[in-house]
């Protein structure tokens, strides 16, 4: 691959330094009576360069946790410390990918990708070159001047991914980014994400409600249960890298899926 997409070099196997610490993170919506505990006392150590999947049913607080880490939502208690600093607001070296592509429809593909740089006042030739490079990397080199409404759902989400990566974030936060895509497009996006992650070495937190997606992508799966939202299981996924689609059909893979399913309560422990 080309040079500037690749930045820090560390393979997931070598990674492992602590990148972030979550201590007693909780979130309560509403007042005393009738208050809804969205997230209850999550403790976690996020290791550098790892991809952590937050897996759970809707309403289990996984998106709330992601938003707290992103600095978009304030926790009701506890703290999220990333690289030694408590997160109280969005950080410059975070990238966020939303559930919907969330592109600005009046901007071209290229200018959507450049949006964060424009806001940060870093809209220079280097930024433009990087944007073009990222878009070429995800196969959208021919669509720089297109408008979002001319693209398919998968293409839009690729643009959104490029936008999240434009400032070379050290932490990539993804909120069910592929949930709305069809199965085949989703599998393509998985390969793309794993590739980009291998190149950039970014730490990734990935919210999903798909068991197989979580197992296929992650180094570690945090399984959430609902009401109150809490982590019911932590599963290390020791499948070899690079992950390949054929691994989806191995016994080891099914075993991880079964355990995650049990954590979700959709399967009972054998």
Question: Which residues of this chain interact with other proteins, rule CB under 8 A?
Answer: 70-72, 89-90, 92, 94, 96, 98-100, 102-106, 115-116, 118-120, 147-149
Closest CA to 176 of 234, 217, 225: 217
> CA 137, CA 192: separation in Å to the nearest integer?
9
What one-character-per-residue DSSP string does 168-230 give?
A: --SEEEEESTTTTS-HHHHHHHHHHHHHHHHHH--EEEEEES-HHHHHHH-SEEEEEETTTTE
Nearer to other proteins, 112 or 208 (CB): 112
In the complex, minimum distance from the CB of residue 238 to other proteins, in angstroms, rounded to a whole number: 33
CA distance 79 to 68: 9
Q: Is 120 helix (H, G, I), strand (E, B) or coil?
A: coil
For the chain, the 3-state helix, strand and coil shares in percent, each to the nearest 5, are 35, 25, 40
Toward other proteins, which CB reaches closer, 159 or 211? Answer: 159
Task: Look up tokens 């707290």; give the residue.
Answer: 68
Strand partners, 21: 45, 81
Residue 235 CB, nearest approach to other proteins (Å): 29
- The smaller minimum CB distance to other proteins, of residues 94 and 256, is found at 94
Closer to other proteins by CB, 20 or 148: give it: 148
- Whose Cβ is closer to other proteins: residue 49's or residue 116's? 116
Measured distance CA(211)–CA(208) in Å, rounded = 8
| Nearer Cβ to other proteins (61/71) | 71
d(CA 189, CA 217): 11
The distance of closest approach from Cβ of residue 11 to other proteins in the complex, given in angstroms and rounded to an integer, is 28
d(C-alpha 82, C-alpha 18), whole Å? 9
Closest contact distance (angstroms) between CB of 116 and other proteins is 4
Distance between alpha carbon 189 and the CA centroid of its chain, in Å? 12
Q: Compute the least distance from the CB of residue 126 to other proteins, in Å.
A: 18
Give how far the C-alpha of residue 192 lies from the chain's centroid of Cα atoms, to the nearest Å. 13
- In angstroms, give the least distance from the CB of 67 to other proteins: 8
- Of 15 and 115, nearer to other proteins (C-beta) is 115
**Residue 9 CB, nearest distance to other proteins (Å)?**
26
């Amino acid at each position: 691959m080309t040079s500037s997409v690749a930045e820090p070099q560390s393979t997931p196997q070598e990674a492992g330094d602590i990148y972030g610490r979550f201590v007693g993170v909780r979130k309560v919506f509403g007042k005393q009576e009738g208050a809804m505990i969205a997230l209850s006392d999550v403790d976690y150590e996020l290791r550098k360069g790892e991809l952590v999947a937050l897996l759970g049913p809707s309403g289990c607080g996984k998106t709330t946790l992601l938003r707290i880490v992103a600095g978009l939502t304030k926790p009701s208690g506890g703290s999220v410390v990333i690289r030694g600093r408590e997160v109280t607001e969005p950080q410059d070296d975070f990238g966020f990918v939303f559930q919907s592509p969330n592109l600005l429809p009046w901007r071209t593909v290229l200018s959507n990708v450049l949006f964060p740089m424009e806001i940060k006042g870093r809209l220079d030739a280097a930024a433009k070159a990087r944007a073009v490079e990222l878009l070429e990397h995800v196969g959208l080199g021919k669509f720089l001047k297109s408008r979002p409404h001319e693209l398919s759902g998968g293409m839009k989400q690729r643009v959104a991914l490029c936008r999240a990566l434009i400032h070379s974030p050290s932490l990539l936060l993804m909120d069910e980014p592929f949930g709305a895509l069809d199965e085949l497009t989703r599998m393509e996006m998985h390969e793309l994400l794993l590739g980009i992650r291998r190149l950039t070495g970014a730490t990734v937190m990935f919210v999903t409600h798909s068991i197989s997606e979580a197992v296929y992508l992650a180094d570690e799966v945090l399984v959430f249960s609902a009401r109150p939202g809490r982590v019911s299981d932590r599963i290390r996924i020791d499948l070899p890298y690079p992950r390949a689609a054929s691994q989806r059909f191995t016994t080891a893979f099914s075993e991880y899926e079964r355990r995650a399913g049990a954590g979700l309560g959709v399967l009972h422990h054998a």
